[in-house]
Structure 1
Amino acid sequence: MGPQGILELSGQPLKIEEIASVAHRKRKVAVAKDAWRKVNASRSIVEGVITSGETTYGINTGFGKLADVRIADEDLKALQHNLVRSHASGVGEALPEPETRAMLLLRANVLAKGHSGVRPVVIETLLSLLNHEIHPVVPSRGSVGASGDLAPLAHLALALMGEGEVFYQGKRTRACCALKEEGISPLALEAKEGLALLNGTQAMAAVGALALDRAQRVTLLFDLAGAMSLEALRGTPTPFDERIHAVRPHSGQVQAAAHLRYLLQDSEIRESHRHNDPRVQDAYCLRCMPQVHGAARGVLAHVREVIETEAGSATDNPLIFLDENGIVSGGTILSGGNFHGAPLALALDYAAIALTDLMSISERRIDRLINPDINEGLPPFLSDTPGVSSGLMIAHVAAAALLNEAKVLAHPASVDSVPTSGGKEDHVSMGMTSALKLRQIVENAERVLAIEMMTAAQGLDYRLPLKPAREVAKAKAVVRNCVPHLKEDRVLSGDIEKLTAEIQSGTFDVWRN
């Protein structure tokens, strides 16, 4: 960390929280002083290739199927600009500004690692856009995830050149105008720099990182919603006993069980039926929360490791390596495939499956709360006047619809591949699709969580004067501050969206564990 909280880059792995701080809270970013030596040294190797006349892919050749075409020295600058313009073929709605900010951050960090052969001014211009809040308009569709996120990154690079459009001061405007306003000179790309900006996984990593940040919040808060539901249904916390989980010690499961034990302490509702309850066991959606919620924790921990590793990885091609002493004359240029998004695509698909399973078990708890056949004496559909009022019947239907959409989206994008570039790029990751799907699933999960919290709070109202567990009572009070008790039918859409916004803003984060 630099002065006054500035995030300093040297190509290091970046934590999800660091990415989010730049994306959402507009933290300032700079390059660490000791990173410039490798950046300058690798650039010297590129310039040495040009001077020697040696044919090297990415420096003085065409790209993809045209990699065998040698480009004359006088055309190298035009080659880089044409590369960016031709690859800026994205379509669809633009990425939100936080995701674009994360892209700028991640791309600058990768180049600062010193394996890309770009001039320092390329990295400086990326950070100038970021720190001056000039956000390139990046269409969300058009990447197959190898050779990296070509189209999204081309739109990012286009803005550095003063071309294309950006979001600036709340408006969509021409990039050249925004750069001029902030005194930033448009970048004139030189040999290899266009390719270095385009090859990489920073679009899928940016969207995936910010989706994961939200996913981790919602996963832990499903423990809270589940605890509220268990209390409303007069369930037992016995299945969360530490001894049960010690003999199946998956870390996520152990953590979830401990979190549930904490949330369910000091409950009058529990004491009221501890010794006179004819039920032997609760349904799986209550009893198996540590196993299901814990498995999701484990998945997201793995995905977090993948994204944070990727954030500090050199992902363009070719890559430049100095000898162990960093001597320019000992450098080597190697072509490889670090731009392939498979690690991210598979991980993000995994996260999508985990979030969908959490939504599934939550939907079962919502049904159990409103279903008069199984809701332990609560009013049908949690209505004060069943029949006259439908209560929370259709809130459950909304949850079912959100779950259905998530189930469709949870189909992995990474199992598909469409050969591109004349068959040269014959296996691709589809990682950007994985990232965009995950983002939508997380949004659906936030709304299902809101519906369960709202439904459980209504159920707890009917257990009065008995008090729920201390932490459950606090959480219910926060819900009630946002959504009042449903005395008679009203439009519920606003309630659901309001509670969802509170979840997204961090109001319930005190109960994350």
Structure 2
Amino acid sequence: MRKVILDGNSLRIEDIVHVARNNYEVQLSTDAIDKVIKSRELVDRFVNEEKVVYGITTGFGKFSDVVISKKEARTLQRNLIISHSCGVGEPLDEEIVRGVMLLRANALAKGYSGIRLETLNTLIEMLNKGVHPVIPEKGSLGASGDLAPLSHMVLVMLGEGEAFYKGARMSGKEAMEKANVPTIELTSKEGLALINGTQVMTAIGALAVYDAINISKMADVSAAMTVEALNGIVTAFDEKVHQVRPHEGQINTAKNLLRILQDSKMTTEQGQIRVQDAYVIRCLPQIHGASKDAIKYVKEKVEIEINSATDNPLIFEDVEEVISGGNFHGQPMAISFDFLGIALAELANVSERRLERLVNPALSGLPAFLVKNGGLNSGFMIVQYSAASLVSENKVLAHPASVDSIPSSANQEDHVSMGTIAARKARAILDNARKVLSMELLGACQAIDLRGNKGLGKGTQVAYHIIREKIKTLENDQIMNVEINKCEDIVKSGIIIKSIEKSIGEIYY
């Protein structure tokens, strides 16, 4: 069985994908087990001594000045989970829930949270046996972490709430019984340790980052096909141009385009047909490159976050100290995921503009709307409408969530990140961007056929054949959303990128 070992420090985005999408099992490292046990021993000692420590022997938020007795510790933790389960909306997708559970387990494995080992093992066992709590998508302010959605995760550990198990939705109690996972009773600090963190926003965002990398590569492929369909000028991609403005994403995009288009008989050189192309062709390295640099930045931030302790208070057992801080605040992720959404929106934006150049006979020199017998046939006319609708929606979604804040908990929590909203928006933008790129790919293939395929580049030839194996040239009008969905499925599968990389080597991002 394929496994991911959790030590709290070395989780990768690829590991999240393996667990969330490919059902890899999860196991704690020996070092992590030792740290968790030692951290818990300190919590137990402070409880026995009735020391006043936030979240262990006090209430939460505005109630931090209310001291809770040792006798009431278990009631306090249960009440925390029950009262904080205020999520609303549709359930998060299974892959996101699995990502959430994995990231919370990894954070707890660092040994700064004071949770009991058996409680952490219950969460891991649920993940390994496919008990997926129903976590409503809305209701988090992103500080103090993702309190509401994470509470819904913990409900199932208590035999409460709801879960999906083997494709069926049922009570949390029934799901745990069917999977043969014993439910638990929380004790001091454990409820807070399980819900006070950024794992929901980070799970959504981490999967979006992984997909964004592939989308950024796919954008170069679809753009390259459009360059060929329009007999675009490749001189603008010359390495010399980009070395004098050496942004990494820009340089990499220019390299990608030249490699993907290598040996093409459909591209041109400067002055051969015209002196220069419009911006959406000529400035491809600059436009795509900026988005790639943004995606790379977000990836670096996510890789820090997925190996961080993000709850409060933190237990430093080596110095026997408990510190109440603010690592639960989602601002680093909120700004990052807003940035990711903007980067993805721009990839879709420029793709739609390239599609417009393909369908507009005044700009392309091709039959109007890429169809013979126009008038009787509308061809790709409304495909461009649909793409325009999606990029317009993306512009609304790209408004940053992180610039908003509404104070909570009687103004004790007077600045919040809205990071989970930012992550959800980035994911929605990504979905729209994938659809727009699929529309451009269809349009570019059609335009190449109408122009006359004189010989495509090493990379574009691979992409063209994969698409044409499933989707034929449009001769007469048909239901276009069927073709769009087919193309999106191809893009989503990753087969085009894998096949091109096998042919020409890595496509850079």
Question: Normalised by the size of structure 2, how large is the TM-score?
Answer: 0.97
Match of 1:165 in 2: 162
CA distance, structure 2, for counterparts of residue 431 and residue 57 of structure 1: 24
> Quick one: which amino acid aligns to residue 317 of structure 2?
L
- Write the deviation string for residues 76-128 of structure 1: whole angstroms up to 9, x where unpaired: 10100000000001000000000000000000000000000010011101110
1:470 matches 2:470:
no
Q: CA offset at residue 196 of structure 1? A: 0.5
Match of 2:77 among 76, 80, 83: 80
Letter of the structure 1 residue corresponding to residue 90 of structure 2: E
Instruction: Identify which of 213, 217, 225 aligns with 1:216.
Output: 213
In the alignment, what sits opposite 1:238? Answer: 235
Rounded to whole Å, the distance in 2 between the matches of 1:188 and 1:171 is 25
In 1, Cα distance between the equivalents of 2:325 and 2:198? 14
TM superposition shift of 1:463: 2.4
Output the CA distance in 2 between the equivalents of 1:409 and 1:36: 42
- Could you list the runs of 5+ residues in structure 1 that have no partner in the other structure? 324-329
Q: What SS does structure 2 have at the residue aligned with 1:30?
A: strand
Alignment of 1:182-221 (within 5 A): 182-221=179-218
Residue 297 of structure 1 is matched in structure 2 by 292
- Can you list the C-alpha shifts for 1:129-177, whole angstroms capped at 9, x where unaligned? 1000110000000000000000010001111111110000110011111
Residue 437 of structure 1 is matched in structure 2 by 425
Cα deviation per residue 1:258-315 (whole Å; 9 max; x = unaligned)? 1101011111223xx5587341100000011111111111111110111111001000
Retained in 2: the 8 A contact 1:269–1:463?
Answer: no
**How many corresponding residue pairs?**
501
Give the equivalent residue in structure 2 for 1:423: 411
**1:150 aligns to 2:147 (yes or no):** yes
Cα distance change of structure 1 residues 75 and 276 upon mapping to structure 2, 3 Å threshold = closer
Q: Does 1:45 align with 2:42?
A: yes
2:359 aligned to which of 370, 376, 380? 370
CA contact (8 A) 1:40 1:119 kept: yes
User: Hey, what does 1:251 align to over in structure 2?
Assistant: 248
Q: Distance in 1 between matches of 2:424 and 2:437?
A: 20
5+ residue gaps, structure 2: 501-506
Tell me the distance in 2 between the aligned counterparts of 1:183 and 1:367: 56
* Alignment match of 2:316 (pick from 318, 321, 345): 321
Q: 1:501 corresponds to which residue?
A: 489
State the partner residue of 2:342.
353
Equivalent position of 1:327 in the other structure: none
Give the one of 298, 302, 307 matched to 1:312: 307
CA distance in 2, matches of 1:275, 1:506: 33
**Contact 2:209/2:295 (<8 A) preserved:** yes
What amino acid sits opposite 2:37 in the alignment?
N
Question: Aligned Cα RMSD in Å?
Answer: 1.1
Give the distance between the partners of 1:259 and 1:77, measured in 2 at CA: 58
Alignment partners' CA distance in 1, 2:276 and 2:425 = 37
Whole-angstrom CA distance in 2 between matches of 1:253 and 1:275: 20
**Paired amino acid for 1:108:** A
The C-alpha deviation readout for 1:460-491, integer Å capped at 9, x for no partner, is 00222512223212211111112211101111
SS in 1 for 2:277: coil
For 1:490 and 1:117, how far apart are their aligned partners in 2?
Answer: 61
Higher deviation after alignment, 465-474 or 430-439: 465-474
Distance 2:462 2:265 in 1: 14
